[in-house]
Chain A
């Protein structure tokens, strides 16, 4: 199947092989760089403020949430602006395999964490009698 997006060769080799969209320019990379820098500095800055201030400025879960959200956003920024995976006319096959990989990653990491924390919880000290009774009633046994 003739599956590359631009059948008539132009002067943009990279667009002709479906590597990036026609009209990709410096501005793509500059926007990507700026966004990525901002999303990098935010969690580090918050952490620095938290560590150097006299009292607890932020809670730990909040810092972690900011870090994770910034990471996921920067991931999308780099995928869009540096890897050129999204946008009109972007190659569908690469996006399809990328989505498949992300799905597998989510299942692998999520599933492993679920399984291993479940195992780990079952290896802690045995519960007291009253805890045991509550668990048996609440969970319906093991």
Chain B
């Protein structure tokens, strides 16, 4: 079996979630990686070096510069036809692109796969992760997005794949990139961080997130948020952890001023250790927290920072 992984790249590098997708794909067969974009030299080199990848297909074109689904779909559909399975990471890039590809292949995509039982049987969460469905696909090409937290990252070095350029196919041109506003942060990426500290409505405003940032910097952690905190404008949308935001599974997740709605839990309940700081001892978050601290966050979080300073 040969499996095509759709790499995610940008700003001259390969996105880390591609490594998790490679691990998932390797369970299905021989892994080839498609890197499509504009000026993708470094990303192709990175893909070549991933352990377990046997071939890299490169498609370099200005048309692919912004990773638009309309531009990439004809290329991916054409390349995919030679494969038994097509895999992308369940990032906003993968979620946007892959169903468009699947529809043209006349395939029912399998979203957010968390386990691969065999060549046609997969496990995926439904109902905000309150249930796990084991599904068997009858399609000849299996098309799936995979959840990064469910598969380890493949080693970024050690591989020596061959590289083949594939012919560029023009997209529809019915959509155009206008601009982007990316959040800048020196902190680790939310979905890849070993420690995450998230704030909820209890933070009261955006400035108070500095309390969490101080702790995050001490621990080398990423900062996340509940939907309520994002909706209220405390922090940007890409901080949202949950059913419809980002899925994280760090070694340590610290939830501050977050009640623990199922939609939030869906995004973090696979964390190894969960800490909750909440002034309401009845808050549902305590039902899943390994360590719960009933306290006012405005007292507890500064204390936490001091305690870490002291005992470091």
> A and B from one assembly?
no
Which residues of A come within 8 Å of B, CB atoms? none
